[in-house]
Amino acid sequence: MVIIADYFLNPQQYKKLPNSPYVYEFVRDSGYGIIKMPPLATPKVALTGWVSSVADQIQEYGNHGFTVLLIGMNSLPGKGVWVSELKRELLARGVEMPATMNLSVSDVASRDSTKKILVGFLR
């Protein structure tokens, strides 16, 4: 499965970024399940619980041989996935960060550009 920034599932919520459906569509068509990170406007009080639950899943799926990947968005704070908080939580558990791909605006501009960047990543 792939952990993704909220932006990739809900691009219409991000007025300064392209309203691009291509990452969602590529992940969907590749047969991956999604663990969506919460939106940037998530109340701080809720964030610890969300990040901890995502770390639980990375650890649990990893322990049982599942492929777990992460896709962030370069132009968003914390890549849209609270990367610092997630790294800190996983480090405390001795668990490695999932293989990560951070995308730029040009990567999500078209179906072809998205496919080009993700085709080798979502194997």
Partner 1 sequence: MKRAGRGTRKSGRKVAFVAHCLVNQNAKVAEFARLPGIVSPVIDLLRSSGYVIEQLPCPELLFNGVTRWWTTKDIYDNPGYRKHCRSLAKFTADVIERYHRDRYEVVLIGLDGSPSSGVRFTGTSDPIWGGRPDARIEEYKIVPGRGVWIEELAKELDERGIPFPRASGVPMDSPDFDLGRSVAELATFLSD
| Contact set with partner 1 (CB under 8 A) | 1, 9-10, 12-13, 21, 24, 27-28, 30-36, 38-39, 41-43, 45-50, 53, 56-57, 60-61, 64, 66
Backbone angles phi, psi at 7, to 5 degrees: -55, -40
Q: Whole-number minimum distance, CB 32 to partner 1, in Å? A: 5
Q: Whole-number minimum distance, CB 54 to partner 1, in Å? A: 9
Q: Whole-number minimum distance, CB 106 to partner 1, in Å? A: 23
Of 64 and 123, nearer to partner 1 (C-beta) is 64
